[in-house]
Structure 1
Amino acid sequence: MGKLINKIVFLINSIVAFGLLLSYLLPYVSPKTFPLLSVLSLTVPIFIVINLIFLIYWIVLLNKRLILSLLVLILGFSHVSSLYKLSGKSWDEEERGVTLLSFNVRSFDRFDWIGSGKIPQNISALVKEQNPDIFCAQEFYNNPDTNFSQYPYKYENFNNDNGELALVVFSKFPIINKGSLHFKKTANNIIFSDLVINSDTIRVYNVHLQSHKISSNTDRLANEDSEKLLKRVQTSFERQQEQAEMLIKHMDASPYKNIVMGDFNNTPYSYVYNKIISNDLKDTFKEAGSGFGKTFEFDLFPLRIDFILIQDNIEVLEFKNFDMELSDHYPIFSRIKL
């Protein structure tokens, strides 16, 4: 009986291992070519976790079938390290570097989704406590209860018809140039600011790629029409590809080192992330983070869809994210050395 059970378990293991192996190709598959396949990039964390469970199962039984999941996980080491990092990076506290914070503030809980009543004040307090040199905010709403007066320089850009939600770059360094990529027919956008830091100039992109409008609550998600949901996500993936291509073209023309911060609305296993980071950038979480690095509240599994990406020749000193209920996203922080 035990042998039969193990055969069935191994059959399921083989299917899941093949699924994970197939997912390794997703970063190289254009959403415009295979939009349905691109949607599968959202499920990669599930495949990784299930393969880890199978690996532990076979290890406990001292069974040679452990080789299958072990081999697949080793082949996709970069995928596994994108999901979870065992330890962060230690740094000399005397070396302050330049500090960065990115946060989708979800209009400071404008419609009381969280029910705290103090979200604008709490986010202001977080930013004041962390005191980043550069703070990129997405879904920014001009709330009278916020206070970011510590920043002498600011670039705020609205890309929607009602002029309410914005992308904002707050900076302690002078902004000598700024602009927007002006996405059409959407409130999502990318803006950039050229900042003078000592004798150097850095271009900072604040990114908010196309939203899927997927609920983080599994009950509400289950009640959605699956066909409509799938079509909407496929369309948003295609639009993200167009937006990422605009960003890459703009970065290619940049005369400065580039830093990309913000909400990608996509995972590190996606075509969009892979195309952007392939442009001589590196992921500060993978360089210095620890744990799951979760940046979005989702019931099923930890999602990392917000990133701070820096030029390859810039050193990452520190990375951390904050498990604080201030939005449906979590703020991320990095310290770098130019």
Structure 2
Amino acid sequence: MKGLKFGSKIIFLINSLVAFLLLISYILPFIPPKRFATLSVLSLGVPLLISLNVIFLIYWLLRVKKQMILSLVVLLLGWSYMNSMYKFSSSLQIEDDANFSVMSFNVRLFNKFGWLPSKTVKDSILALISDEAPDVLCLQEYPISERLKLKHYYSFNAEYSKGIKGGQTIFSKFPIVNSGSLEFPNTYNNAIFVDIVKQKDTIRIYNFHLQSSGIGVDVEKLKEETSGHLFKQVGATFKAQQEQVELFLAHKAKSNYKTIVTGDFNNTAYSYIYRKIKGDDLKDTFKQAGNGFGRTYNFKFFPMRIDFILADEDFTVNGFKTLDVELSDHYPIKTTLKLSH
């Protein structure tokens, strides 16, 4: 740091810490939360760490200082992270007669407890579904008291099936020939699945709602939480998520069908949870055909993408969009797929 003024030295020290934390985050997808729960919490802050390193890079670049190399190298090492945070290409939308669409949305109980000022949230969501007309619709936080009946759709758990937790439902314009639930222990969360028949193909659809940390978006409430309590709470959540994902992987391994996984993962694309669900045989439809930040959760500090549609490698992704509507604390996502033969 020779040649730097005192103020610039302080800035570079902060820059070095932020760069180090981002570098550490690159190994988090390979570390089970059960081993290092506290460290795994860092995955939630990756978008912020990327943004700060970009700011430091620009700061030193404008001053023509060699210190810019630090953030530049760290960002280049994690280029795939940049692609997960922001998709630089324009949205891909390819028309094909074989296309079908899948939409996922955490509806937050249709605003049952008045989080949003609007009194017509449920009606607006119904109008949105009608306008988008997805062939497959996966809903999370679907309330037992506000059941939907959608014309021209088959459904599973829309009326609630005996012995299966509420909260998730799947609607499909294609016949449902099999269905079930993965009941996660010691929680209200679960995952459901259906097998649908599209022409001669049977496709399995999973709809997830993994364990939530319970941390909201209210800034004042977050200020009241101690950092230690937040880390402990999120760490415990990630451990529970790991157990839930292990149940899913064991279930998925018994199926030979082409698979689509949707839902609210309550975790980011930089996490162990995401990497394990995605595996080597699924692809992230946002990365394939989305654009921009692709944020799916209304978090005030930085863009967060915690809702996903992952599709088997045998699917071609012909479109993806995030719907910018304020009807929940989440934003709906929709992809257009074609099954390759």
TM-score (norm 1): 0.94
CA pair 14-95 structure 1, distance change in 2 beyond 3 A? farther
Give yes or no for contact 2:175–2:197 (8 Å, CA) kept in 1: yes
Deviations 1:53-99 (A, max 9, x none): 01111221222222211111111011111111122343333546110
Question: Matches of 1:142 and 1:160 in 2, distance apart?
Answer: 13
| 1:73-152 matches, cutoff 5 A | 73-95=75-97, 97-142=99-144, 148-152=150-154
Q: Is the counterpart of residue 69 in structure 1 residue 51 in structure 2?
A: no
**TM-aligned CA deviation for residue 160 of structure 1:** 11
Q: Which residue of 1 aligns with 2:292?
A: 291
CA pair 47-280 structure 1, distance change in 2 beyond 3 A? same
Q: Is the counterpart of residue 8 in structure 1 residue 4 in structure 2?
A: no
**TM-aligned CA deviation for residue 248 of structure 1:** 1.1
Q: Is the counterpart of residue 326 in structure 1 residue 330 in structure 2?
A: no
Q: Which residue of 2 aligns with 1:49?
A: 51
Question: Matches of 1:228 and 1:92 in 2, distance apart?
Answer: 47
Q: Which residue of 1 aligns with 2:209?
A: 208
Which aligned segments of 4 or more residues in structure 1 are displaced greater than 4 angstroms? 142-147, 157-161
Q: Is the counterpart of residue 186 in structure 1 residue 187 in structure 2?
A: yes
Residue 232 of structure 1 aligns to a residue whose secondary structure is helix
Question: Matches of 1:170 and 1:57 in 2, distance apart?
Answer: 50
Deviations 1:262-285 (A, max 9, x none): 000001111100111114111111
Give yes or no for contact 2:197–2:203 (8 Å, CA) kept in 1: yes
Q: Which residue of 2 aligns with 1:26?
A: 28
- Give the letter aligned to residue 224 of structure 2: N
Q: Report how many residues are paired.
A: 337
Question: Matches of 2:311 and 2:147 in 1, distance apart?
Answer: 32
CA pair 121-74 structure 1, distance change in 2 beyond 3 A? same
**TM-aligned CA deviation for residue 143 of structure 1:** 5.3
CA pair 22-226 structure 1, distance change in 2 beyond 3 A? closer
Give yes or no for contact 2:154–2:176 (8 Å, CA) kept in 1: no
Question: Matches of 1:130 and 1:96 in 2, distance apart?
Answer: 17
Residue 116 of structure 1 aligns to a residue whose secondary structure is coil
Give yes or no for contact 1:155–1:178 (8 Å, CA) kept in 2: no
Deviations 1:136-170 (A, max 9, x none): 00010245585522313444486999x98421000
**TM-aligned CA deviation for residue 295 of structure 1:** 0.6
- Give the letter aligned to residue 331 of structure 1: P
Question: Matches of 2:262 and 2:108 in 1, distance apart?
Answer: 16
- Give the letter aligned to residue 319 of structure 2: E
Residue 181 of structure 1 aligns to a residue whose secondary structure is strand
Q: Which residue of 2 aligns with 1:235?
A: 236
**Can you give the 5+ residue segments of structure 1 that lack an aligned partner in the other structure?**
none
Q: Percent identity?
A: 49
**TM-aligned CA deviation for residue 205 of structure 1:** 0.2
Question: Matches of 2:96 and 2:169 in 1, distance apart?
Answer: 29
- Give the letter aligned to residue 186 of structure 1: T
- Give the letter aligned to residue 295 of structure 2: K
Q: Which residue of 2 aligns with 1:274?
A: 275
- Give the letter aligned to residue 260 of structure 1: V
CA pair 238-207 structure 1, distance change in 2 beyond 3 A? same
- Give the letter aligned to residue 229 of structure 1: L
Q: Is the counterpart of residue 311 in structure 1 residue 309 in structure 2?
A: no
CA pair 229-18 structure 1, distance change in 2 beyond 3 A? closer
CA pair 2-35 structure 1, distance change in 2 beyond 3 A? closer
**Can you give the 5+ residue segments of structure 2 that lack an aligned partner in the other structure?**
none
Residue 299 of structure 2 aligns to a residue whose secondary structure is coil
TM-score (norm 2): 0.93
RMSD over aligned CA atoms reads 2.1
Question: Matches of 2:165 and 2:261 in 1, distance apart?
Answer: 23
CA pair 255-335 structure 1, distance change in 2 beyond 3 A? same
